[in-house]
């Protein structure tokens, strides 16, 4: 059956990959991408689908209540998938306010529109960062959906606040919601301020590779397509009011990722520069994905060794995409974040 889906934040990394996945898998669905096009949103990313008659792009802020209501009146969506967010932890440490506006108040506006115009499903794309971190010396511990929220950064606090609001709208107003909390994604169209694309781009330009602290922090990496497939399953078959953790049991230390990227690109490890640690830096994330596996049959399909090769190849083949980004306003961000940060 045909469905109309509003995807917010679809000009960003995961949202765009989700749009590609959905348009390919469900040729009868109409996908409406709503995106403010912040520094992290890139219209050129969506170029492959711009002429698809089942796709529409609308430049809009999720905090713009009037604009969001007008779009709902026009499109009558069945499903909303809310990816739109300020997503970079380091920027949230620099300037928290916009994180609270977009990630919390924007979520509220989207859910108010869902209440006003009716919806079959509102899906909130959340993150494993809401659980805080795990110690390095307890490899037996994992985040389950029952792990208490315990946030570290303004980013994760804003995402956790949004999650609480989503659950409140379910209980108080009966809004049919689901939440996914995924671990770190990697893959094509990842903005080059995040660890993996930053290291690939820097390696290719023979620039220093800034590793925070000792590089011992652990992240649980998942290929972006596997995250998109998980969200697809949740919006179609997930139970209302439920949270689903998404992750592929692929924990790696930052330093090992950076060394692997050097090796794949034939660059010397002497490019690695240890820099001052991130404030409040979470030590380890590790997801227990048992619930989504047993309830919805989800399992990750791309192994890290294949996914990282595909990702590196994508950055080699699509230099113009990330070079256009790092040649603009990004330069100022890079200077603020990394110049004079060295230990």
Instruction: Using alpha carbons, select from 332, 341, 318, 338 the residue that is nearest to residue 47.
Output: 318
Q: Give strand pairing partners of 186.
A: 223
The CA-atom distances, in angstroms, between 296 and each of 45, 249, 281, 300 are 30, 17, 33, 12
Which residue lies nearer to ligand NAD by CB, 180 or 271?
180
Q: What is the CB-side half-sphere exposure of residue 152 using CA atoms within 13 A? A: 17
Nearest residue (beta carbon) to ligand TDX: 127
In the residue annotation, 129 being an active-site residue is answered as yes
Give the ranges where the chain is alpha helix by DSSP (H): 13-25, 65-75, 89-94, 97-100, 107-117, 154-173, 195-204, 224-237, 254-265, 290-296, 304-317, 319-326, 330-338
CB atoms within 10 A of CB 143: 24
Helices 65-75/107-117 angle, 10° precision: 40
Report the nearest approach of ligand NAD to the CB of residue 310 (Å).
16
DSSP track, 26-91: -TT-EEEEEE---TT--GGGGGGGTT-TTEEEEE--TT-HHHHHHHHHHH--SEEEE--S---HHH
Which residue lies nearer to ligand NAD by CB, 36 or 170?
36
Report the nearest approach of ligand TDX to the CB of residue 89 (Å).
4
89 binds, among ligand TDX, ligand NAD, none (CB under 5 to 8 A by kind): ligand TDX
In the residue annotation, 155 being an active-site residue is answered as yes
Question: For ligand NAD, which residue of 5, 6, 9, 114 counts as binding (CB under 6 A)?
Answer: 9
12 binds, among ligand TDX, ligand NAD, none (CB under 5 to 8 A by kind): ligand NAD
Which residue lies nearer to ligand NAD by CB, 107 or 271?
107
Question: For ligand NAD, which residue of 5, 6, 7, 12 counts as binding (CB under 6 A)?
Answer: 12
Report the nearest approach of ligand NAD to the CB of residue 282 (Å).
13
In the residue annotation, 69 being an active-site residue is answered as no
Does 219 contact ligand TDX by CB under 6 A?
yes
Q: How many whole angstroms separate alpha carbon 56 and alpha carbon 4?
A: 11
Which residue lies nearer to ligand NAD by CB, 100 or 267?
100
Site of interaction with ligand NAD (CB under 6 A): 8-9, 11-15, 35-38, 40-41, 61-63, 83-87, 102, 106, 125, 127, 159, 182, 184-185, 191
Binding residues for ligand TDX (CB under 6 A): 87-89, 127, 129, 184, 194-195, 198, 210-212, 217, 219, 254, 278
């Amino acid at each position: 059956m045909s469905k109309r889906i509003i995807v917010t934040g679809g000009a960003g990394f995961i949202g765009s990959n989700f749009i590609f996945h959905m348009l390919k898998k469900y040729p009868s669905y109409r996908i409406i991408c709503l995106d403010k096009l912040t520094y992290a949103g890139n219209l050129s990313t969506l170029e492959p689908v711009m002429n698809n008659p089942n796709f529409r792009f609308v430049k809009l802020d999720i905090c713009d209540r009037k604009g969001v209501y007008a779009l709902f009146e026009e499109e009558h969506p069945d499903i909303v998938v809310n990816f739109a967010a300020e997503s970079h932890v380091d920027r949230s440490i620099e300037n928290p306010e916009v994180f609270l506006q977009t990630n919390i108040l924007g979520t509220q506006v989207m859910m108010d529109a869902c209440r006003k115009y009716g919806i079959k499903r509102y899906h909130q794309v959340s993150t494993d960062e809401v659980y805080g971190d795990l110690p390095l010396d307890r490899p037996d511990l994992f985040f389950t959906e029952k792990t208490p929220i315990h946030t570290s950064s303004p980013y994760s606090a804003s995402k956790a606040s949004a999650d609480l609001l989503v659950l409140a709208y379910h209980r108080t107003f009966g809004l049919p919601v689901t939440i996914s909390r995924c671990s770190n994604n990697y893959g094509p169209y990842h903005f080059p301020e995040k660890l993996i694309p930053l290291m690939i781009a820097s390696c290719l330009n023979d620039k220093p590779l800034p590793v925070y602290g000792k590089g011992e922090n652990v992240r649980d990496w998942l290929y972006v397509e596997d995250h998109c497939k998980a969200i697809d399953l949740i919006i179609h078959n997930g139970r209302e009011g439920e949270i689903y953790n998404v992750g592929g049991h692929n924990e790696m230390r930052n330093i090992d990722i950076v060394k692997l990227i050097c090796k794949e690109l034939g660059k010397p490890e002497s490019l690695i520069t240890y820099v001052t640690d991130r404030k409040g830096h979470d030590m380890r994330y590790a997801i227990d994905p048992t619930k989504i596996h047993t309830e919805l049959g989800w399992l990750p399909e791309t192994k890290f060794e294949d996914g990282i090769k595909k990702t590196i190849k994508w950055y080699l083949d699509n230099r113009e995409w990330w070079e256009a980004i790092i040649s603009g306003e990004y330069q100022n961000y890079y200077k603020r974040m990394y110049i004079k940060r060295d230990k």
